[in-house]
Structure 1
Amino acid sequence: MGNIVVHDQNNTNIAHCPEEDVEWTFIVLPVYSLVIAVLGIIFNVFVLMVFCLHKKACTVAEIYLSNLAAADLVLVSCLPFWAVYAAKKFNWPFGGSLCRLVNLSISMNVYCSIYFLVLVSIDRYMALVHPLSHERLRRPKSAKLGCLLVWALGLLLSVPTLIYREVKYFSGINATLCYLNYPNTTVMLLCEGMLTMFIIVIPIPIISFCTFKVIKVLNNRLMKASNTKKKEQKATTLVLAVLIAFLICWVPLHLVKIIELLMRAELLVGCTLGTIVETCRQILTYLAYFNSVLNPILYVILGTLFRKRVKELFKQWSWKRTVTLRFFFSMISVLV
């Protein structure tokens, strides 16, 4: 979400509009951001520990979900900076380097998250709709390579954030902003249009198609599923919940950003519309942040296999602790 900014100064279409009272943001946003940051860090670290420290190797779907948890962890780790930014009435106190780095990290989270979900939806599609046709693509090595390519794509798509983010003082509003400063409207429309293409136009149809096919197959197989198929269905239920949660949390924000893009291109005009768009963007931005906390909750509530891993991991730790204590006491008895 490196392109989502507070009080972006590039919107010349509504530059003449009167300033709206945004005092509520200085109180609500810092508290909300810190709560989301604390919960998100705790929950996603827990998820990564379960996936990474368990003695059994991760399945393909779990490889994608663990990378999604890593992307969510990156996002929530950046939220304290935005909490301070909002608390200081949108005066950025951390300098230009952190302005670019924090926004680069947030931006990568958005792009990586949606393409991890693309990969996991394709994996569920191949597992249930064409279970025998694409076994090579559903190997852990292929999944890890796919995740590596997604991280590289996220970094590539975040280059505009790295180039055009800057810190500047605006005397008119008496604030030092960390914002996107495109050199001209053409570059802005090109960058924003390209990112909209990669965030909505390409991934959403793929996710929707795979999800529709998977749900159709699940309905047909519900009464005659073997144990193997039941295992795939349990994993798929969790994936579908994560997909739906992501779409609910993120799609409204991106739709608002499309409207904002049309306003910047002066295809839509009006102070009232500008005020509505700005307010919606503020609210929907922080709804989108909540997705990084929601995913780990879904793993626990709906992830039967995930809960099984948690129990096995705790037993594994309990056994190791017991062995260590026995060794410790046996050493003491020998020395005494």
Structure 2
Amino acid sequence: MSTDPTVDCKATNRVTYETLSWLMIGEFVLGLPLNLSVLYVFVFRFKFWKKKSIFLFNIVVADFMLVACLPAKAYQYHRGYRRSPDDALCKTMHFMLFLNRGASIAFLITLSIDRYFNVVHLGRRNFVKVLKKSPLVSIVIWLLLLTLTIPTMVNTFKCCNSLGRTNGTRFHNVTDIFREIVDFGQIIVPFVILVYCTVRIVNRLQRKTVGEKTKLRRAVFVVMSVVVVFSVCFLPSTVARAVLLSVRLNKDWKHAEDAVVQVYDSLMVLSYIDCLLDPLVYCFCNSEFKDAYISTFCPAFLRNRLLKTDFGLGTTTTTTTITTTTTYGIRDVYLPILAQ
């Protein structure tokens, strides 16, 4: 193995990484104004602390910090490096990207679990609802994520990519393995939870009558939107990472490593579009946020139409007729009541 610390950083196919750099620039150009506008609405129009939407706000912060990291990573790709050859910058970028991705996942899963308890275990004490009202819980989640992400800063790997490449000390190997366990665990475990919540909520929806389905339909859309984010953004790169590690650990497959590395890096770039998809989750989770965002940024001719549309979620105010029965002597009189 070469002793040059930049060997493992260099891109074997310069065209591929230049293309990926432009894709990241596109994600940055679209993601920055979108996340800034969402952040503005949450703070100045929606006032998340009054709406008890602290978890949603934390997702906004994580997405914004992720978007802020993209220009530096795109710059390295454009220069033909998979990672920065500068050790400190490499670790800092790795730390920020994994921390913010982990935060986004953690708070999305918490919201999905909250919907699950509200629907499947209606009437029972929902510990998630109690916890999400406290900002201290969000602080604890961030501190836990910081602890789990620290191994990305340990000086055990070349270009942030050592497992299967180097024969380090036992401490180095343990650190590398722990980092991979955290990386896979923060995707696989939440996805299993999501699938379980989705199946239970859908089963509950199928057993309800038509008049009781509005809340359940919204819950299904929430968890399904999170499942879509996972399926599009996180699962493909996780599978590619597993394949890459298998190739590195199997000496007979070394010839395929360059191709697998390019696929993995491409899917990691794809995973960054979660900062563009998460605002859809905000709308599904909270119709008040959707109305505040539309009222702030949509032109008048479009605003009125969007505010009157519930997108199949049952989020707008509608007028329905409920029949009640009043008995006078022996004759029943039916009176229509308008319910909002």
TM-score interval for Structure 1 and Structure 2 normalised by the shorter chain: 0.7 to 0.9
**1:277 corresponds to 2:260:** yes
Query: Where has structure 1 moved over 6 Å in runs of 4 or more?
Result: 91-94
Query: What are the within-5 Å matches in structure 2 for residues 102-251 of structure 1?
Result: 102-139=93-130, 141-142=132-133, 144-164=135-155, 178-180=159-161, 183-184=168-169, 186-187=173-174, 189-221=176-208, 223-225=210-212, 230-231=214-215, 233-234=217-218, 236-251=220-235
Q: What's the CA shift for 1:59?
A: 4.9
**Aligned-partner Cα distance in 1 for 2:60–2:254:** 39
SS at match of 1:139: helix
Give the partner amino acid of 1:262. Answer: S
Alignment partner of 1:30 out of 10, 21, 43: 21
Structure 1 gaps of 5+ residues are 1-6, 11-18, 169-177, 316-336
CA contact (8 A) 1:30 1:83 kept: yes
Show the counterpart of 2:337. Answer: none
Show the counterpart of 1:79. Answer: 70
CA contact (8 A) 1:129 1:213 kept: yes
**Aligned-partner Cα distance in 1 for 2:121–2:285:** 24
**Aligned-partner Cα distance in 2 for 1:155–1:121:** 22
SS at match of 2:160: strand
Show the counterpart of 1:9. Answer: 8
* Residue-pair matches, total: 286
Q: What's the CA shift for 1:145?
A: 3.6
Q: What's the CA shift for 1:82?
A: 0.8
Structure 2 gaps of 5+ residues are 1-5, 299-340
Query: What are the within-5 Å matches in structure 2 for residues 42-81 of structure 1?
Result: 42-53=33-44, 54-55=46-47, 57=49, 59=51, 62-81=53-72
SS at match of 2:204: helix
CA contact (8 A) 1:99 1:165 kept: no
How large is the Cα RMSD of the aligned pairs? 3.4
CA contact (8 A) 2:28 2:67 kept: yes
SS at match of 1:164: coil
Alignment partner of 1:100 out of 91, 96, 100: 91
Alignment partner of 2:290 out of 299, 307, 311: 307
Question: In 2 relative to 1, CA 51–165 (structure 1 residues): closer, same or farther, beyond 3 Å?
Answer: farther
**Which entry has the higher C-alpha Rg, 1 or 2?**
2
Q: What's the CA shift for 1:32?
A: 1.1
TM-score by length of 2: 0.71
TM-score by length of 1: 0.72
Percentage of pairs with the same residue = 25
Q: What's the CA shift for 1:251?
A: 0.7
**Aligned-partner Cα distance in 1 for 2:96–2:238:** 18
CA contact (8 A) 1:157 1:195 kept: yes
Q: What's the CA shift for 1:21?
A: 4.9
